Amino acid sequence: MAPVNKAQRLSKKGTDDEIASIDKASMRWMLLAISWSVPFLRYCGGILLACILACGSVSAQEATPSTTPLEFILRPVKEGFYCSLVSDGRTAEVSFKKEPVYSSSKIYRHALRLGDGPADFIGVACDMAANTLYIDKNRNLDLTDDDPGVKVPEDFYCQFRDVTIELTYEGVSIGYVLDIDFFGDYCNPVVRSGWKGDIEIAGKACSMGIADNLDGAFSPDDSFIFDHERHRAARLSFGEVDEELLPQWFLFEGQLYRMEVAFRVQEGETVLAVTLTPITEGLMEITFEGQNVSRVVLAGKDDIYGILEWPVPVMRIPEGVYTPNQVYVLDSFLGQPEAGEALKPGGNTLLKVGGPLSPKVVASRSGATLNLNYILEGVEGASYEPDSESENRAKFAIYKDGRPIKTGQFEYG
């Protein structure tokens, strides 16, 4: 189901920042000391092992799973997602048959893609000088017979919020709320709305959310949110609820489920009916090494995605060839392992990712400048970044003759 587009939002941030400028002549007398004063670092290294005990056992996946499907209803919400639209790499310039009178010639026309077909789009035109957005909601390439243009306060960029669009798929009317930003000729539309609900799986209280990218079909181009008490108990102060690519299957509390999603009209509103069917056949066994790993997103062939929630030493997953796409530690750090040996039947079945995390500092000189690069490294060599940067960044201090001469905080990445 996520691409998290869920493959759209893989790398989070950052370039190396200049940390301190040091007089060349005094370099040979300088002693560099790094002070790890950030609260989350108590969880790094070997100390991470204590957290795994508090977060639950590491028992193997249960041998006799249930075969009874679970069904849930998710209800519409107007915000809480960041779901990108389908993109085919084109500039998506639109030729309208009829347009309103614009305030200037500075007009940018784009297509909001609804699918891969040549007519699967909604045309929009942004009058940059007037900070006004026109939307061809009835999709007839005439911008004069729709609602009045959406206007925002004058700004260098045109950022349109709460743009509502209604589409019909298989006779079902579906409402969407979008944010559409124009930066010159660049257009960035995202879906903010979706469907959410509090549900129970394996006796555990969970919350689930799904957002559709306007195409009316559920696939890895859509967004998926899944949160539960184990995540909340382990999450550090800077941890956030993560939005993923919509998976076809996921493993939770020792049970493997296939997910199916469909629109349904209930009590006058369009809801999502979610069916979780236990998977008991066509499985391969994999082993896991790592600490405090709260989630692994596995990417397979043909855009097949799966999610492992709190992986255990031995698990069974649908047969296929998979690579770890994203790895979370304590639901607070994100790592993206570089391409390594894939998991596959009859081949490699070892998944080694996550903690213990090792903090490292790499120092390099550029003229009279000493650059310090902070890295939080997992067992597989991937770098892990916190969910947010705020006040939880690692601090450093530079000493000369036992006295601090420079202090600061690291930028991640």
Angle at alpha carbon of residue 153, lines to 152 and 157, rounded to 5°: 80
Which string of b and e fits 177-202 if b means at least 16 CB within 10 Å?
Answer: bbbbebeeeebebbbbbbbbbebebe
Provide the pairing of β-strand 358-366 with 70-77.
unpaired
Q: Of 23-37, 53-67, 381-395, which one has max mean pLDDT?
A: 381-395
Q: Is the peptide bond before 356 cis (omega within 30 degrees of 0)?
A: yes
Q: Percent of the chain scored above 90 by pLDDT?
A: 58
Mean pLDDT of 222-239: 95
CB atoms within 10 A of CB 13: 9
Mean pLDDT of 118-144: 92
Q: Is the dihedral of CA 48, 54, 56, 60 positive or negative?
A: positive
- Sorted by sequence, the CB contacts under 8 Å of residue 203 that are 6+ apart come out as none
Q: Any idea which residue has 């587009």 for tokens?
A: 5
What DSSP letter does each residue of 8-48 carry, written as one string? -S----------EE--GGGGGGEEEE-----GGGGGSGGGH
Provide the pairing of β-strand 283-289 with 83-84.
unpaired
According to DSSP, the residues that pair with 187 across neighbouring strands are 182
Model confidence pLDDT, tens digit, residues 318-354 = 999 999 999 999 999 999 998 778 999 999 999 999 9
d(CA 113, CA 218) in angstroms, rounded, equals 15
Choice between 373 and 308, residue whose per-residue pLDDT is larger = 308
Q: Where are the domains of the chain?
A: 20-52+357-409, 58-74+194-351, 83-191
pLDDT at 39 over 90: no
Model confidence pLDDT, tens digit, residues 14-38 = 333 333 333 333 333 333 333 333 3
> Looking at residue 355, what DSSP letter applies?
B
Q: Which two tokens stand for residue 334?
A: 């994100």
pLDDT at 60 over 80: no
Inter-residue long-range contacts of 111-114, CB under 8 Å, 24+ positions, other chains counted: 112/85, 112/165, 112/178, 112/180, 112/189, 112/214, 113/85, 113/86, 113/87, 113/88, 113/214, 113/215, 114/86, 114/167, 114/214, 114/215, 114/216
Mean pLDDT of 358-382: 85
- Predicted local distance difference test score (pLDDT) of residue 363: 82
What's the half-sphere exposure (Cβ side, CA atoms, 13 Å) at 288?
26
d(CA 165, CA 113) in angstroms, rounded, equals 13
d(CA 248, CA 1) in angstroms, rounded, equals 6
**90: confidence class by pLDDT, cuts 50, 70, 90:** very low
Q: Which two tokens stand for residue 239?
A: 């941890």
Closest CA to 291 of 43, 64, 24: 43
What's the half-sphere exposure (Cβ side, CA atoms, 13 Å) at 59?
9
Provide the pairing of β-strand 283-289 with 350-352.
parallel
- Predicted local distance difference test score (pLDDT) of residue 391: 52
- Predicted local distance difference test score (pLDDT) of residue 399: 84
Angle at alpha carbon of residue 29, lines to 25 and 34, rounded to 5°: 115
Mean pLDDT of 180-198: 92
Q: Which two tokens stand for residue 293?
A: 């790993």
Q: Indicate the residue type of 408.
A: G
pLDDT at 183 over 90: no
Model confidence pLDDT, tens digit, residues 283-302 = 999 999 999 999 999 999 88
pLDDT at 12 over 50: no
* Of the listed ranges 12-26, 132-146, 213-227, the one predicted with least confidence: 12-26
